């Protein structure tokens, strides 16, 4: 049963990401992106990452996706729900991307990763993440806070009417 659910989520992620990449309607692409984000949250649950799954839903679906929808609404004359989008150099792009995919898969799959036979058993990750955040990763945490402040001020300054 768990196997079946995993492969359903796997297929959902791939199919919705394909719709993002190949779809002709921008609105459809954004909603497909929501499917991808929710599917990736499900993948996190299968990877024992409970905190990350919730963070994924809150930040991506609740924050970034809403931001993207606002970006689309503010940059198009919305008379219909059909906001078409076009692509350029599809053939060449597909060729390059398939090459990259082949390189990744042929280099990653045959490799014998140490310890890949024994997956870690599930245990709550929130406490461990909090502990690491304020010990080993404290500098990174502080830099992240400065970066977020910079992004906040920068975005607010850039988005003003008179620049």
3-class DSSP assignment, residue 42: helix
Minimum CB distance to another protein, residue 135 (Å): 11
* Residue number, 2 or 81, with CB nearest to another protein: 2
* Number of neighbours of residue 31 by Cβ within 10 angstroms: 15
3-class DSSP assignment, residue 150: helix
* Residue number, 78 or 152, with CB nearest to another protein: 152
Measure the CA–CA gap between 108 and 148, rounded to whole angstroms: 34
The token pair that represents 91 in the structure block: 């053939």
Minimum CB distance to another protein, residue 44 (Å): 6
* Residue number, 81 or 115, with CB nearest to another protein: 115
The token pair that represents 12 in the structure block: 């959902």
Please measure the distance between the N-terminal and C-terminal CA atoms of the chain and give it in whole angstroms.
56
DSSP 121: P
Q: Which residue in 29, 36, 31, 30 sits closest to 15, CA to CA?
A: 36
Minimum CB distance to another protein, residue 56 (Å): 7
Minimum CB distance to another protein, residue 5 (Å): 9
Minimum CB distance to another protein, residue 117 (Å): 9
* Residue number, 75 or 82, with CB nearest to another protein: 75
């Amino acid at each position: 049963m768990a196997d079946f659910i995993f492969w359903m989520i796997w297929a959902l992620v791939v199919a919705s990401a394909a719709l993002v990449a190949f779809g002709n309607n921008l609105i459809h692409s954004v909603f497909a992106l929501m499917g991808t984000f929710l599917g990736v949250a499900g993948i996190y649950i299968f990877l024992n990452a409970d905190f990350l799954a919730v963070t994924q839903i809150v930040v991506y679906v609740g924050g970034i996706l809403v931001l993207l929808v606002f970006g689309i609404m503010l940059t198009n004359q919305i008379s219909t729900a059909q906001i078409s989008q076009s692509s350029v150099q599809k053939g060449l792009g597909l060729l390059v991307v398939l090459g990259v995919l082949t390189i990744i898969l042929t280099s990653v799959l045959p490799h014998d990763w140490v310890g890949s036979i024994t997956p870690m058993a599930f245990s709550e990750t929130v406490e461990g993440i909090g502990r690491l955040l304020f010990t080993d990763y404290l500098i990174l945490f502080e830099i992240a806070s400065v970066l977020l402040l910079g992004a906040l001020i920068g975005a607010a300054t850039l988005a003003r009417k008179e620049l």
